[in-house]
Every structure is written in C-alpha cells, then in structure tokens.
Chain A
Amino acid sequence: MNEEKEKTGEKSATFCADKVGFRYGLRGEWLLRGFSCSLPKGEIMAVLGPNGCGKTTLLKLLLGILKPVEGSIRRGGHLGYVPQVSASAFDHRVLDMVVMGRAASVGFFSIPEAEDYRRAENALARLGIRDLAERGYARLSGGQRQLVLIARALVSKPCGLVLDEPTSALDFKNQDLILSALRQLADEGLSVVMTTHAPHHALHVASRVLVMENGARHFCGPPEEIVTTEQLRRLYDLELKTLRFEHRGRFLNSVVPIFS
C-alpha cells in the first residue's frame, strides 16, 4: 500500500531524481553521487551549500541542460528557469523580456503573436507588476528585475520554477518581496526549487531543504530537521547560532554567523 502511494506521489511530483551522479568530464570530481530526491507539487525546496559544491549544476540537471552521468531524472512537466539577476548588456522593454519566455513555442523564423503578449501581460499581473510592462529592464531595481525574470519563467506555463539564488544582492525589502511572491506561487500549486546562501530564507519559506556538501554528499528533509546549528556549522565551517523567537504572535527563525 505504502509503495503504491509512493509511486502515485512520484507520478504527481515536479521532479523525481533516482540515484543521480554527475561530474564534468571523465576524470572530474563527482559533484553528485547517488542523489535521490523528489518534490511534490506546490512545495518549496531550498538548496543550501557552500560555493562550488554543485548547486548550480544540480539546477542545470533538473532543467535538462546537463544530462546525468549516472541515474535518471523524471520531470512532471516543463520547469521554468529564473537566473540570478545580473547587469544586462541590452535594455529590453519589460514586456519584450517576459515574452521571450515563450521562445520554445514561437516558430524558428517567427515572432511572438498577440496571444503570447497577452500571456506575458497576465504573468506580470500575477506578480503585481503589470505597471512595469513598458519600462526598460536595465532601469529597474534588483527586486523588480527578479520579479520580471520570474514572470518570464511563468509564461511558459511550467509545473515548477528553478531559481538560482533569487535573493542574492537584494536588500531586505526586496528579499521579502521575492520570498512572498514565491510563497504565493507555491500556494497556487507551483513547485519551487531555489538555491540560497541564506539558511533563514530556507527556514522562512521552504517545506524541504536539500543540503549539499563538498564531496558529493547531500541530505534532504524538513527544514527544522536539516537546518540545525550543528549541520550549518559543519556545512559552512564557521561558528554560528540559530535563534528562534516570537514576534507579534509569530515564531521566527534566524541564523547568525559568528564572524572571526
């Protein structure tokens, strides 16, 4: 009965990785080995780990940009990619930037049609930034740019979003803006996989946390079990404290690094 339930769960999962192994080249170091994990619909998974442990590689594997050397990954549908916000060489109009998310369904020698633009406008409206449509992308704030990139991923009607450090380089207000938007999307049934260097973000929004360590080791589970002082201390090789306190009736978690 349990096995049957698990199989049904796998079927409705956003992705299901089975004993995945990956390394660059034939003699490269294994970044992932024996990685098995699945993500049910409507859940947020935060991926934690030090620089260079293979978080971005994992995202590329989930998106299908890289192929596993061992094992397999099954996807429940198309996954939308949201890259890190970076300086753009060109200043595209926000609506044009978002409609580029339809690239896979626009013919090779064609341009987007009215329906594609309507979907792009809907995606902007879904995130509450419809008023930015005519603005230049390069002139937006970091938080606004990140929302535009999320909207771009949404126009392709994905079953889940894969975000590469969506809150890095953002101030507190914009971090809140992005995390709230992600939680809202998860409430609407969309799955989210996000890498982050902020364990308190994982504690705040994620229902699952994947910890990746150097040497292809990984742990996955509920945030309260995985994001512990001991675990984080070992992960980042740094003294730190996790705090839990009450604020206006809400219990909040925070992680404070003790810098040398």
Chain B
Amino acid sequence: MRRRFFLAAFVLMCMAGALSAGRYVVPFKNVCGILASLLAPIEPWWTDIQYRVVVLIRLPRVLGAALSGAALAMSGAALQSVLKNPLVSPQIIGVSSGAAFGGVLAILFFENAFATMGCAYLGGILALFLVWCLCNGARGASPLGLVLAGIVINAFFTALISLIEYVADPYNKLPAIVVWLMGSFASASWDKLRYSAPPLLTAAALLYFLRFRIGVLSLGSEEARALGIDIQRTQWLVLGLVALVASATVAMAGVVGWIGLVVPHFTRIFVGDDYKRLIPLSCLLGTLYTVLIDTLARTLIEVEIPMGILSALVGTPLFAFLTYRLMKGEEGR
C-alpha cells in the first residue's frame, strides 16, 4: 500500500514534469504554482503566457493522456483475464477499429471535431454489437469465440477504413484521415476532455471494483460458473466497459495501440497475476507510460511524432523483452 502511494506520487510528479516540458519550457516551480493557483488563490510569480500554455494547452493534453493510458491499461488487464489469454488487448475485440471507422467516416463527411468524437463512439458500440451478434448474443460465448469474433470484426472495419482512405480526396481529406489514425493527443482540449473523461473515469472505476470477479473469470467460464459467478452478466459488462474505454480514447486521440497489451504484462513483472494488485498497478503504470510517450512525442524532435507510432516503437521492444523473459522462465520451470 505504501509502495503504491509512493508510485502514485511519482506519477503525479511526472505529470507535472510533462506540463513543464515542451518547446516552450515552463520552470517546474512555476508549473506547481500555476496548478496550486487552480485550487487556492495565490499571488502569481509566473507570466500570463506560461499560465496559458500550462492550463489551456498542456493540462487537458496531459490529463487526456493520463486518463486514456490508465483506462486502456486497466482494460487490457481485465480483458486478458476475461478472455483467459494474456496476449489480447482492447484492440482485439474490434472496438478500436469500429471507433476508428466511425471517426474516419466523420472526417470524410463533416469537418467538426465533435462529430468525429460522436461517430467514433457510435462505431465502437456498433463493433461491440456485431461481436455480440457473432457470439450468438445472450447465449454467451467462449473466450476463444470472442477472440475470433473480435478478429473478424477488426478485419471488417479495417477493410472499410481502407476503402474510405481509397476514395477520400487525396489533397484535403486523406492527410487528415491518415494523421488522425496514427493517434495523437495534440488536439486535446478541455471541451474534448469534457466528453471523454466521464466515460473513461466511470469505466476505470467499475473495472477497479470488479477486479475480484475479473480474477475469477480468468479461471475459465466453466469453473467460474461452478463457483457461482454469473458469467454472461460479468463477461459482457467487462467487454462493454472495455469498449467504452477504447471508443472514448479513439474519440479523443485516434488509434493509440500497445498500451493495453504492454502495460499489463509489464505490471505482471512486479505483482504476478494477483488481480487485487494487477488492475490498480496497471492503472498507475498505464498513466506513467502514456504521459511519458506523449511527452516524448512532442519534445523528441522539431515536429510532433504521432502517438501511435511512438507507442509502437517503444512498446514492441518492451514486449519482445517481456516475451523473451517469459520464454526463459518457461524453460527454467
């Protein structure tokens, strides 16, 4: 508990550091002062530009990245348990592609960020509904059936996205679509956060409270049912929450991959498969990972690197290392 408290404090420090970093550096002391001034009246020692950069530009971006990272990592950990498969991530159930399709469709027909967000949510819900239909609806599905249905829906929406890219105006719409699909928190704003934060916070809180049931589901449907768990209700509730997180993230920042896969695996190094600690720690490490990657994305070189690219560039070697470690452990067993 004490260690978790120190880690939470460290994550908050990193978030404050992220507010300070950028092409226009704001001294850390000034960042702390600006943040404190949001809570209590303080005589300012910072400039007005520094205040605007921190509060209007960087704070919604860092909060958006932190919330998305936390919720995606928790979703990944939950999904891996529910599907009894440590190799799945929120993208595997097809919701990210569904949400991405909705967003891309909105970019093609409307030029409004909120229409993009709305369509992304609708696309995500549609994808989950199709997975549900493929799995014979209320009669439920095995983890393998769910993964297969997710792969099918994922492939279907990916093909539709490619179709839209093919027909989109190559000078006007196509670049906007391609950049949006690469994922970035650059366009994060307080308005966007207002629409994304409530679903992300709600889903993360419910996943946290469901952590015992999620652990029981990792035993497999048959055993969990025999232990008195209502499989259908729990399984679809968790899938619905994961879909909400994936849609809200895509709506805010486009497709951001790898967080839901890499972070829970990385967390397992410290706490093993202990469901009580896995989900809260995934939340903290997901926040840390996403905030750090987003900060690197905007500070590493002159132009901003899309989040999706950097997340994959950091995530793949990390995942390769984790796989190597796992295989070495299996050999030694």
| A residues adjacent to B (C-beta < 8 A) | 63, 65, 81, 83, 88-93, 96, 100-101, 103-106, 108-112, 136, 139, 152, 156
Closest chain B residue to A80, Cβ basis? B226
Given A96-B275, A111-B276: A89 and B211 interface contact (C-beta under 8 Å): no
Interchain nearest-CB distance for B58 vs A (Å): 35
Task: Tell me whether A93 and B212 are in contact in the complex, defined as CB-CB below 8 angstroms, given that A81-B226, A104-B227 are known contacts.
Answer: no
> Which of A65, A88, A93, A110 makes the CB contact (< 8 A) with B226?
A65
Assembled-state Cα–Cα distance A108/B229 (Å): 9
B274 touches A89 (CB 8 A): no
Q: Does B223 contact A (CB under 8 A)?
A: yes
Q: In the complex the two chains form, what is the Cα distance from A30 to B82 in whole Å?
A: 33
Say how far B66's CB is from chain A's closest CB, in angstroms.
Answer: 24
CB-CB < 8 A to A65: which residues of B?
A: 222, 225-226
- CB-based contact B226/A83 at 8 Å: yes
A112 and B212 form a contact (CB under 8 A): yes
Please name the residue on chain A nearest to B211 by beta carbon: A111
Give the distance to chain B from A145, nearest Cβ to Cβ, in Å.
12
Q: Is the CB of B226 within 8 A of A92?
A: no
Nearest 8 Cβ contacts at the A-B interface: A104-B228, A81-B226, A90-B273, A109-B209, A111-B212, A103-B227, A103-B216, A100-B216
Query: Which residues from A are CB-within-8-Å of B222?
Result: 65, 83
The A-contacting residues of B in range 280-331, CB under 8 angstroms, are none
Q: Which of A93, A106, A110 contacts B274 (CB 8 A)?
A: A93
- Please tell me if the beta carbons of A110 and B227 are within 8 angstroms of each other in the complex: no
- Closest A residue by C-beta to B237: A108
Contact between B276 and A100, CB atoms less than 8 A apart = no
User: How long is the Cα–Cα vector from A92 to B211 in the complex, in angstroms?
Assistant: 13
Which chain B residues border A156 with CB–CB below 8 Å?
227-228
In chain B between 237 and 279, which residues have their CB closer than 8 angstroms to a CB of chain A?
272-276
B229 CB contacts on chain A under 8 angstroms: 103-104
How far, in Å, is A56 (CB) from chain B's closest CB? 10
Of all chain A residues, the one with the shortest Cβ separation from B87 is: A89
Beyond A89-B86, A156-B228, whether A109 also contacts B274 by CB under 8 A is no
Q: Does B224 contact A (CB under 8 A)?
A: yes
Chain A CB within 10 Å, residue with most, of B84, B206, B216: B216
Q: How far is the CB of B287 from chain A (nearest CB, A)?
A: 22
Is A81's CB under 8 angstroms from B227's CB?
A: yes
Q: Of all chain A residues, which has the CB nearest B205? A: A109
B213 is an interface residue with CB less than 8 A from chain A: yes
Please tell me which one of the listed residues B213, B218, B275, B333 contacts residue A89 in the complex, with CB atoms under 8 A apart: B218
**Which residues of the other chain, B, contact A110 by a CB distance below 8 angstroms?**
209, 212
Contact between A106 and B212, CB atoms less than 8 A apart: yes
Expressed in whole angstroms, the minimum distance between the Cβ of B118 and any Cβ of chain A is: 30
A111 to B278, CA, bound (A): 14
Q: Mark B95-130, 1 if CB is under 8 A from A, else 0.
A: 000000000000000000000000000000000000
Q: Report B-chain residues with C-beta under 8 Å of the C-beta of A91.
A: 272-273
Give 25 A-B contacts (CB < 8 Å), ordered by A residue.
A63-B226, A65-B222, A65-B226, A81-B226, A83-B222, A83-B223, A89-B85, A89-B218, A90-B84, A90-B86, A91-B272, A91-B273, A92-B218, A96-B274, A103-B213, A103-B224, A103-B229, A104-B228, A104-B229, A105-B228, A108-B213, A109-B210, A111-B212, A136-B272, A152-B227
B215 at the interface (CB under 8 A from A): yes
Which chain A residues lie closer than 8 Å to B212 at the CB level?
Answer: 103, 106, 110-112
> Is B219 engaged at the interface, CB distance under 8 Å to the other chain?
yes
Determine the chain A residues whose CB is within 8 A of the CB of B216 once the complex forms.
100, 103
- The answer on a CB contact under 8 Å between B218 and A90 is yes
Quick check: B215 and A96 within 8 Å, CB to CB? yes
